[in-house]
Amino acid sequence: MSEKTTGQIDNVMHEDRLFPPSEEFSSKAVIGSMDQYQQLYDAAANDLEGFWDGIAREDLHWFEPYDTVLKQEGHNVEWFVGGKTNISYNCLDAHIVAGNGDRTAIIWEGEPGDQRTLTYTELHAEVCKFANGLKSLGVGVGDVVSIYMPMTPELAIAMLACVRIGAIHSVIFAGFSAEAIADRNNDANAKVQLTSDGLYRRGKVLPLKATVDEALEKSPTVEHVVVLKRVENEIAWTEGRDHWWHELVESVDADCPATPLDSEATSFILYTSGSTGKPKGIRHTTSGYNLWAKKTFQWVFDWRPDDVYWCTADCGWITGHSYIVYGPMSAGATCLMFEGAPNYPAEDRFWDLVEKYKVTIMYTAPTAIRAFIKWGDEHVEKHDLSSLRLLGTVGEGINPEAWMWYHEKIGGGKCPIVDTWWQTETGGLMMSPLPGATATKPGSCTKPLPGVFPTIVDESLQPVGENHGGMLCISRPWPGMLRGIWGDDERFFDVYWKTVPGSYLTGDNARIDEDGYYWIMGRIDDVINVSGHRLSTIEVESALVSHDAIAECAAVGRPHDLKGQAIAVFCSLKGVEPSEELRQELKLHVRKEIGALAVPDDIRFTDAIPKTRSGKIMRRLLRDVAAGRKAVGDTSTLEDFSVLAKLAEDDEG
Ligand code: 6R9
């Protein structure tokens, strides 16, 4: 498979297969034709405010109506100004009021195979109790609650409880290290930490509470810790600070009305990597975010009440926020939530789940699809996947071969695939096929959704022509857009708004083909995408240079069959000799500083890091070396870059 799935850019440049939706699919779809899409798109283009006004009135519950749809001052925007709503109300109470409280909200399966289902009424009750529990710890509007938990229903309950009372959640993926938690908690001023005694991962128990204990030594703003009992392991306990989840909810009132919140109230922050070492707390709002998550879910996943929808992401990432919790639950969908890994206890776990729960819509990542291809078709063929009617992907571009495999082996050749392009910052989907309307091309995210206005410009900020790559920007505001970087307005402006005046800079490169289809061509900054997770090269470098042996280092991405990109680092040493032990020690060090997801795949020792005359690391050269595009010697010895560096220097000079 390796030959087939590499060389993505080359492949997609020559991709001309077209897959129109079937008549059967279109006839039942929410948006069933390109004409209908175009009408919506034009309506938004001609009257952006009128377009969103109509949708917001219909789709959200308002405690108080807004007086202004959109207020814009430069890059600072406000949507639905003056209105009051509550995301948790829209996700829960609204369905109960409409008589749909008995509909299943969450079907959950844990890694060991334990199961639980919650109707909307039951979920509402759990959320109310936990919200009151949080209140009893003094949590109120604007307080930050840090969440470091396994993929249990309680993770969704915690998120919904926070937004119910106006607390701001900051979910930290449970694979991050104590250092990473402490950094994020300190940046956010977190007041309460939610965690569990542990987490099941491929049959082992990871001690989440112990990691939190270590993190809190360095993040003193946290006053209380709430611990969910999940694995029943031994944990350390700090009296007065630590509380069991089940005890906290025992004595509280069952009733907790949703707090009416300003449209622009911060609903959550979510840390993501940018081009510097310090992760950014991306700040999202209440009504604009809620509306975007709901509407994009309904349009793109063509949702119907009898669907069983499964997004395989973790709530630690934006995909889990918008498409496990807020989007589908605002719509009233039945969501499968899964705690475990795709290959535990065996490589057919996902297909077992699809068959068992009769999943109709599945949303996953290209990196997972590539792993399934590698594991072999026999794991798929064991199961009846005929319930599926729609497939989606997110996180990185999908290479056409993986797309074809997904289409044929998983979708039985009959399910449309929605390749959804978006970012933590955009809050929800931005470009994607509409499954009943858009003819898809493997590897293209096709067209912008109604209300999304992309442009592609070159370095002199001029729009590029057909099939020319350039910086992808969004020229008009959309309700779900980020409103800031937590505590850093200057960085917010510098990163997203300074380069192309008046437009949001996505950080991605893209091109438009002759049919007006968009093709994402990777990042323009120093962000690498490892298995669909964003990491900045500088973050990895900062972690490494904090080790005594490292004089200097540079991290770059290189192509990887399964992960999309792998992390390759070049290190020059101080006072020690290169060795295999040192390489292992450095890997452990990065794991400790950031987490397992940032551990470099290759560590190469070099005598010096090649730089330009102005002192910039020659990243392009290192990327070539890392990808094996230039001949290099044995990686276990010092690499001599002097010749390469000299050549490159001559090129530049
Ligand atoms: C939702 C999410 C965002 C970055 C984005 C881009 C890459 C995401 C993609 C895609 C090509 C797709 N990306 N979806 N590239 N095609 N369908 O992944 O958010 O973690 O913030 O990453 O991921 O480079 O800029 P986030």
pLDDT at 2: 33
What is the topology classification, in CATH, of domain 523-649?
Answer: GMP Synthetase; Chain A, domain 3 (3.30.300)
Cα 274 to ligand 1 centroid, rounded to whole Å: 13
pLDDT at 630: 55
- The tens digit of pLDDT for each residue in 55-105 reads 999 999 999 999 999 999 999 999 999 999 999 999 999 999 999 999 999
- Ligand 1 within 6 A of CB of 420: yes
Mean pLDDT of the chain: 92
457 is written with which tokens?
């410009």
Determine the Cα–Cα distance for residues 97 and 342; give it in Å rounded to an integer. 37
- Testing ligand 1's pocket by substitution, the residue of 421, 485, 518 carrying the most ligand atoms inside 8 A of its CB is 421
Mean pLDDT value of segment 583-594: 95
- The tens digit of pLDDT for each residue in 34-58 reads 999 999 999 999 999 999 999 999 9
- For 258-322, list the strands marked E by DSSP: 261-262, 268-272, 280-284, 308-311
Cα 649 to ligand 1 centroid, rounded to whole Å: 33
Cβ neighbours of residue 349 closer than 8 Å, sequence gap 6 or more: 340, 341, 342, 343
Within 10 A of 414 (CB to CB), how many other CB atoms are there? 14
- Ligand 1 within 6 A of CB of 391: no
- Ligand 1 within 6 A of CB of 397: yes
Query: Closest ligand 1 atom, CA of 445?
Result: 17
Which SS3 state, helix, strand or coil, does residue 231 take? coil
Within 10 A of 495 (CB to CB), how many other CB atoms are there? 19
- The tens digit of pLDDT for each residue in 196-226 reads 999 999 999 999 999 999 999 999 999 999 9
Mark the binding-site residues for CoA, compressed into ranges.
201-204, 319, 343, 531, 591
Do β-strands 268-272 and 168-171 pair in parallel, antiparallel, or remain unpaired?
A: parallel
- Testing ligand 1's pocket by substitution, the residue of 520, 527, 528, 536 carrying the most ligand atoms inside 8 A of its CB is 520
Mean pLDDT value of segment 30-36: 97
Determine the straight-line distance between the first and last CA of the chain, rounded to whole angstroms: 41
Cβ neighbours of residue 516 closer than 8 Å, sequence gap 6 or more: 447
Mean pLDDT value of segment 424-436: 98
* Domain boundaries along the sequence of the chain: 523-649
- The tens digit of pLDDT for each residue in 468-517 reads 999 999 999 999 999 999 999 999 999 999 999 999 999 999 999 999 99
ipTM, 2 dp: 1.00
Q: Are 292 and 147 in contact (CB under 8 A)?
A: no
DSSP 631: -
Do β-strands 454-457 and 470-474 pair in parallel, antiparallel, or remain unpaired?
A: antiparallel
CA-wise closest residue to 474 among 431, 529, 526, 534: 431
Residue 70 backbone phi and psi in degrees, to 5:
-145, 125
- Ligand 1 within 6 A of CB of 319: yes
pLDDT surpasses 90 at 588: yes
Counting DSSP H helices and E strands in the chain, the numbers are 24, 30
- Percentage of the chain lying above the pLDDT 90 cut: 84
pLDDT surpasses 70 at 639: no
Question: Residue with structure tokens 């792993």?
Answer: 371
Predicted confidence band at 631 (pLDDT cuts at 50, 70, 90)?
very low
Within 10 A of 650 (CB to CB), how many other CB atoms are there? 8
pLDDT surpasses 50 at 651: no
Mean pLDDT value of segment 607-626: 80
Greatest Cα pair distance in the chain: 73
Do β-strands 144-147 and 192-196 pair in parallel, antiparallel, or remain unpaired?
A: parallel
pTM here is: 0.91
DSSP 427: S
- Ligand 1 within 6 A of CB of 228: no
pLDDT surpasses 50 at 1: no
Protein residue whose Cα sits closest to atom 6 of ligand 1: 396
User: C-alpha angle with apex 638: 632 to 639, nearest 5 degrees?
Assistant: 30
Burial 175-191 (b: 16+ CB within 10 A, else e): bbbbbbbbbbbebbbbb
- Ligand 1 within 6 A of CB of 395: yes
Cα 376 to ligand 1 centroid, rounded to whole Å: 26
Q: How far is CA 122 from CA 126, 187, 195, 245, in A?
A: 6, 35, 22, 17
- Testing ligand 1's pocket by substitution, the residue of 423, 425, 533 carrying the most ligand atoms inside 8 A of its CB is 423
E strand or H helix at 644, and its extent?
helix 642-652
- Testing ligand 1's pocket by substitution, the residue of 508, 523, 526, 535 carrying the most ligand atoms inside 8 A of its CB is 508
